[in-house]
Each structure stands twice: as structure tokens, then as C-alpha cells.
């Protein structure tokens, strides 16, 4: 039976330092970065086995996923989100695994909207269930959707998702989400050399002159199971060069401080693309994201080796004030800069899996 992949330090048993008095306002970490974004993984399960995220040889039929009682309840998620908002969080993104596999996800969205009507709530999905759920998600109050799509070539897409899922159904889901009022959609393409990099121009051509924003993501060394090698990375610089040779583009300003995607637009006015360069052009210095894992731990970096258990506080009778102080202390002690110091050795270190904390 495959063993569950956890951080080297079990997040559920890490002590959380106490903090006396109210958290500093605005909350800053040791590198003076504010807390602005919270990514919430609502399930560690996914129906895809993408080779760069949940390779089938590890996440096989015998893999032991978290039992339901170890997942945070919707009420617990809303409580953490409400406290995080008080510490500066302005945006929440629901992730997984595949978040649409979490039963009643629409109810969670509605609860978050009711508790935090001023917060921007988005969701990232592989699109497999989006066509069926788009209308209900919009009705619940979801504002934005990002869809993962790594190729328009059906054979390549099926090989990469390793679940024999056709690309046509994801494209239909994008149309359904748009019709439901969730557009424009952001479409994320993880680019891996020799696997789908020949699809860069085809993807750009397909989404050009649509309201959707295509974003190219460098293949990252998240977790310890995806066989990452630097040789497999297509740099954002190379991606931009390939695009510009076919469709002239120009750089445009970020929408907000700390935006991870570098923005470009077609010179003919037919749309926008983005590149996310966490391997070759680290943006650690402006990272404002915390992650709440499926089992109720807070991680302060996508490439973290450890997390901080908050579920035991939630279920241990701690007050909102105590939980707030603990979460503030976690952020104030943060000094992550993994992508700035990445080496071949650090890339091989055991890190939390992306399916556990979301991308």
C-alpha cells in the first residue's frame, strides 16, 4: 500500500508559538510581506493523476487518502477564513486536490460569502465537474474560476492527466462556466519540455481574441513525487519569446502588488496572457499567500517542509482570540524564500505535496 506523503515535520503535531496582545496591524512577516491571500485545500482527492502533481505510481488504487473526519468541516474553514480576514486576507481561493469533489462545495462557498461578503472568492479546478456545477457555484456566490488545461491535443492531454479524460469536456466546461457568469476564465497550462511545450502556440491561438486569460506555468519542484528536473523546465523567457515571434506581445503592469503572473497583452488588442515563473524568476519577495491544508494545517510556502497545526486549536476549545494570535504568530515568524535559494539539492528535499495544499 502506498504511504501517504506528509511533510518531514508532521504539521498536526507542531507547537504553535503563543503571541501576547493583539497582532500587529498591518500584519507583516520577517521580510516585511503582508498577508493578503489564503488558499484553502478542501480535499486531498482528485480524479486526475497528472504526472507533475499526483503521479499514478504513487497515488495508486491503494493510496490512503484522509478519512472524512480528518478534513476540516465547513464551519471550521469559515472560522479560519474569518480570522484570517481580520489579519489582512482579502482573497480566498478554494483548491484541492480537485475541490469540486468535496461534497457540498456550493454550501461552503455560500457560507464564506455570507460570513465575508467583502472578500474575493475564487476556485481552481481541473474542469471535470465544472459544466455540471457552474450554475450552482455562481448562485452560491463564487466570483472567479481558474481551469487547469495543459494541452489542446487530446492524446497529449489524456497522457498528462493519466485518467483518460478528454480535452473536449474541459473546453465544454469553460463554455458552461462562462455562460453561468463565471467568466472571464483564467486557464492555467503547466509547461513541461518534451511533453507539451509544442502546444504553447496552439493554446495561445485558441484563446486569443476570447475574454479568457491563458497563463503559462513553469514546471515546478512541488512535493517529492513528480520527478522534477531543471532540464524539463521551459522558462517563461523562452515561452514569451516563442509567443512574441508568432503573435507580437508587450508587457503590462500587474493588477496588484504581489500578483504572481507577469502580464502580457497582444499588440493587436486581442487579449492577454500571463507567465508564472517561480523557477527562473522567483517572486518570493512579494509573496503574500498562506495555505490551509486539507487536514487543517497552515503552510506559508508552496514548497514548505512543515506546517503548523490549527485543527487541534479549532477542536480543542480555543477562543477566536487565541486562534488569531497563533495565526498571527505563524505569519510574523515566516521567512520563506525557497525559489530564491533553489538548488538541485533543495529540489530533492521532501516537501508537502501540491495535492495536499493546492497550487
Per-residue pLDDT tens for 326-350? 999 999 999 988 777 766 556 566 6
* pLDDT confidence of residue 8: 32
- The answer to the question of residue 56 being in a domain is yes
* pLDDT confidence of residue 343: 62
The number of domains in the chain is: 1
- The answer to the question of residue 351 being in a domain is yes
* pLDDT confidence of residue 339: 74
* pLDDT confidence of residue 29: 94
Q: Radius of gyration of the chain from Cα atoms?
A: 20
Q: Residue written as cell 505569519?
A: 331
DSSP-derived 3-state class of residue 32: coil
Positive or negative: CA dihedral 316, 321, 326, 328: positive
DSSP-derived 3-state class of residue 256: coil
Q: What is the pTM assigned to this prediction?
A: 0.90
Supply the angle between the helices 167-179 and 130-140 in degrees, to the nearest 10: 20
Q: What is the DSSP string of 289-335?
A: EEEE-TTSEEESSTT-SB-EE-HHHHTTT--HHHHHHHHHHHHHT--
User: With contact defined as beta carbons under 8 Å apart, do 358 and 93 qualify?
Assistant: yes
* pLDDT confidence of residue 293: 94
User: With contact defined as beta carbons under 8 Å apart, do 80 and 107 qualify?
Assistant: no
* pLDDT confidence of residue 351: 62
- The answer to the question of residue 340 being in a domain is yes
- The answer to the question of residue 121 being in a domain is yes
188: which strand partners? 148, 215
* pLDDT confidence of residue 221: 76
Q: What is the DSSP string of 41-82?
A: E--S--S---TTTS-TTTS-TT--PPPGGGSPPHHHHHHHHH
Residues in the chain predicted with pLDDT less than 70, given as ranges, are: 1-25, 223-226, 342-351, 359
- The answer to the question of residue 4 being in a domain is no
Q: What is the CATH number of the domain that holds 49?
A: 3.20.20.70
Per the structure, the complete domain to which residue 307 belongs is given by 11-177+185-357
Phi-psi label, residue 286: left if phi above 0, alpha if psi -120 to 50, beta otherwise = alpha
Per-residue pLDDT tens for 128-182? 999 999 999 999 999 999 999 999 999 999 999 999 999 999 999 999 999 999 9
* pLDDT confidence of residue 354: 74
* pLDDT confidence of residue 282: 81
- The answer to the question of residue 278 being in a domain is yes
> Between the CA of residue 111 and those of 26, 51, 135, 208, what are the distances in Å?
26, 34, 17, 36
* pLDDT confidence of residue 326: 96
Using DSSP bridges, classify how beta strands 272-276 and 289-292 pair: parallel, antiparallel or unpaired: unpaired
Pick the closest to residue 234 from 286, 279, 289, 187 (CA basis): 279
- The answer to the question of residue 2 being in a domain is no
- The answer to the question of residue 3 being in a domain is no
* pLDDT confidence of residue 336: 87
Determine the Cα–Cα distance for residues 206 and 216; give it in Å rounded to an integer: 14
Helices (H), 70-193: 74-86, 105-115, 130-140, 154-161, 167-179
User: With contact defined as beta carbons under 8 Å apart, do 98 and 48 qualify?
Assistant: yes
Amino acid at each position: 500500500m502506498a504511504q501517504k506523503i506528509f511533510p518531514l515535520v508532521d504539521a498536526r503535531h507542531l507547537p504553535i508559538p503563543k503571541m501576547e496582545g493583539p497582532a500587529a496591524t498591518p500584519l507583516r512577516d520577517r521580510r516585511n510581506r503582508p498577508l493578503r491571500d489564503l488558499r484553502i485545500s478542501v480535499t486531498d482527492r482528485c480524479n486526475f493523476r497528472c504526472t507533475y502533481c499526483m503521479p499514478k505510481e504513487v497515488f495508486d488504487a491503494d493510496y490512503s487518502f484522509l478519512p472524512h473526519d480528518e478534513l476540516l468541516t465547513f464551519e471550521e474553514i469559515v472560522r479560519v477564513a474569518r480570522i484570517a480576514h481580520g489579519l489582512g486576507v482579502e482573497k480566498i481561493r478554494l483548491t484541492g486536490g480537485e475541490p469540486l469533489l468535496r461534497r457540498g462545495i456550493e454550501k461552503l462557498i455560500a457560507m464564506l460569502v455570507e460570513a465575508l461578503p467583502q472578500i474575493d472568492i475564487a476556485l481552481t479546478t481541473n474542469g471535470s465537474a465544472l459544466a455540471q456545477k457552474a450554475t450552482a457555484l455562481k448562485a452560491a456566490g463564487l466570483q472567479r474560476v481558474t481551469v487547469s488545461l495543459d494541452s489542446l491535443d487530446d492524446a497529449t492531454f489524456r497522457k498528462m492527466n493519466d485518467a483518460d479524460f478528454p480535452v473536449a469536456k474541459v473546453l465544454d466546461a469553460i463554455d458552461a462556466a462562462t455562460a453561468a457568469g463565471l467568466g472571464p476564465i483564467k486557464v492555467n497550462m503547466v509547461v513541461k519540455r518534451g511533453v507539451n511545450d509544442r502546444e504553447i502556440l496552439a493554446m495561445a491561438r485558441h484563446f486569443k481574441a476570447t475574454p479568457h486569460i491563458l497563463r503559462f506555468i513553469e514546471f515546478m519542484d512541488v512535493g517529492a513525487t513528480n520527478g522534477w528536473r531543471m532540464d524539463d523546465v521551459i522558462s517563461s523567457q523562452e515561452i514569451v519569446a516563442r509567443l512574441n515571434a508568432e503573435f507580437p506581445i508587450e508587457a503590462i503592469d500587474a493588477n496588484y502588488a504581489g500578483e504572481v503572473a507577469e502580464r502580457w497583452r497582444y499588440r493587436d488588442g486581442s487579449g492577454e496572457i500571463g507567465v508564472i515563473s517561480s523557477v527562473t524568476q522567483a517572486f518570493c519577495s512579494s509573496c503574500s499567500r498562506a495555505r490551509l491544508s486539507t487536514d487543517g494545517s497552515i503552510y506559508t510556502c508552496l514548497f514548505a517542509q512543515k506546517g503548523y497545526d490549527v485543527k487541534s486549536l479549532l477542536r480543542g476549545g480555543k477562543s477566536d482570540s487565541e486562534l488569531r494570535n497563533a495565526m498571527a504568530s505563524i505569519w510574523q515568524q515566516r521567512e520563506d524564500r525557497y525559489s530564491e535559494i533553489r538548488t538541485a539539492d533543495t529540489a530533492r528535499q521532501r516537501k508537502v505535496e501540491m495535492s495536499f495544499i493546492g497550487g
